[in-house]
Every structure is written in C-alpha cells, then in structure tokens.
Amino acid sequence: MRGITVPTVQAGHAIGVDLGGTKILAGIVARDGSVVRRTERATPQDSQEHVLAELEASVAELLDESVAAVGFGAPSPIDQENGIVVRCVNLPLENAPLRDRMRERFGIPVGLDNDANAAAIGEWRAGAGRGEDDLVMLTLGTGVGGGVISGGRPFRGRNGEGVELGHIVIVHEGRPCQGGCTGRGHLEAYVSGSAATAAARETFGPSADAHRLVRLANEGDAEAKKLLEEVGGYLGSAIGSFVNVFAPQLVVLGGGFGVAAFDYLRKPAEEVALREALEPMRSSVRLSKAELGTAAGFIGAAFVAFEALDNS
Ligand SMILES: [Zn+2]
C-alpha cells in the first residue's frame, strides 16, 4: 500500500519512545502502527538529568516534518494530570515533569504513559491483540510491567497511573522486591529477567544471565529448562489471578526476557493459570507471545502520542 500512496509532507506520524531499564527504544510510527524509522540508545544509570537528556536526544534524532506528536512510555506510575513520571523502581527518575519539558523543547503535543501500558496499547492496536477488547499484557524485562485493555480502552487507574501488575504479591513474605520497591514476594522478584539472571548465576556461576539461561535451554540443557519452568509456574500463579480479576480474552507475554523464554514459560504458566482461574474466564482465555517484540513499547507510546494529538 505504501508504495502506491502519493507521498505528501503532512503531520501524519508520531514518535514513540520506550524508556527501559537498559535501553531507550524510539521510532517514527504511522497511524496504522507501521514503523518508519527506529533508533536505540543505552539508558544512562547515573542521574535524572542524564536520562532526560538522552530521551530528548532520541526524539531530536528522529524528528522531521512528518511528526505531529511525541509519546513516552516510562517504567513508573504516571501522574497524568500533571504529566509527571512519579518514580521509577529501576532508574534514577523521580517526580520528573516529562510532559512540560518535552512540550517546551519540541513544541508539539506530548503523551505520557506507563511503559507496560504503552506496550499493551501497542500489542492491542498493532500486534497480538488486534481486534480484542479485553487483554492483559505482561512485560518481562529488567522488571515486570503490566498493562490492561478493558472494554476496548486502556485501564489507567484513578489518575492515569497505569497498573503495576509486576508488584502484586504471589508469595506471602517471599523474596524482597527489586530496586526501590519495599515489597516482598512480588511477581517481579520471581519472573523478571533480573530474577532469571539471579537464578542462572546460582546454578551456572557468576557469568551466567537470563540470556545464557535461554540459550542453554535451547541447546537442550535440562537444568536450564527446569529453572525456566519454575519461572513459568510463578508466572502462571499471577496470570490465574489476573484472569480472575480482569476476565480478559487474551494474555500477551512480552518484554525481552518474556519473548525470548516464551516457549519454556508457556506450558507451566498455562497449567498453573488454568488451575487457578475460574469458569467461565478459564475457558475463554488464551496466552500469546507479543508480536511486536521489543518494539511494542515505542509503538504503543506513539499511539499515546496520537491520543494526545487528537485531544489537543
Ligand atoms: Zn515490588
């Protein structure tokens, strides 16, 4: 289709930016969810100002006359009213007035959302969840994020915070959570890429990590498969609860680790989830791998940008 479209210089695109624990992924995205151009940068770990400067640089690198709005997904609850990133668990970013700063810098509408909410929107509009009205997305990366589409709309909570599905308790008085989270037994402490890395190091030594764990499983290593199956079981406990709470048609598993390990996590996760979920939700829910891969976050952030543009 794009080949026969008469090229016009019009503001039909948005830039979506996905702020991750280790990478900033950004892209120019069209209304149909197709990606025109994309970039990747390392996420600074040292200071808030450095993180904000890199976010600006990601946008500046892509910005052209076709871009009408910019959207950000950040791994934090969001204060939608004031356009503020409240507090990232795994990054030095707290009370950051991202919307005002970016609007002043670039002079176009700015949308802001929780990163996993953005990923859920991306998969809903352009990926595994196309055509569904009710879905739950879990992103397993450095941390664990969650996004919910309910009744054909993103579910954002009272003030647009998004939902923190990674920080629900699956084990009472269990493992301490990560980063700045004071909780115990949270899902994130059991199924994130960081949790998989910790488990891999215990079994395979200090140089192992989540990537190596998946690689070993791919090579047929029984111990690696067993570790991933354990992770899948914990994941299933959480999915069963989410199915009981949100009654989705679809649960989408994304994030770097979630996608890489999907084939090993799926069976144990489904077994446990189906044990925990009640009818009629149990019979109607499916578990799918994210289709957009690690691009889901920035594609969804671009749809959040379109939302800001259409409401401006
Ligand atoms: Zn937590």
Print pLDDT tens along the chain (312 aa).
Answer: 444 554 444 569 999 999 988 899 999 999 999 999 999 999 999 999 999 999 999 999 999 999 999 999 998 889 999 999 998 877 899 999 999 999 999 999 999 998 889 999 999 999 999 999 999 999 998 889 889 999 999 998 877 777 889 999 999 999 999 877 899 999 999 999 999 999 999 999 999 999 999 999 999 999 999 999 999 999 999 999 999 999 999 999 998 899 999 999 999 999 999 999 999 888 889 999 999 988 999 999 999 999 999 998
Q: What is the pTM of this model?
A: 0.86
Strand partners, 287: 251
Q: Give the model's pLDDT for residue 127.
A: 96
The CA 143 to ligand 1 mean position distance, Å, reads 9
Write down the pLDDT at residue 284: 86
* CA 90 to ligand 1 center in whole angstroms: 11
pLDDT of residue 253: 95
Amino acid 3: pLDDT: 46
CA of 144 to the centre of ligand 1 (A): 9
Ligand 1 centroid to residue 185 C-alpha, Å: 8
Of 66, 79, 76, give the one whose Cα is nearest residue 27: 66
How many angstroms does the Cα of residue 67 sit away from the middle of ligand 1?
36
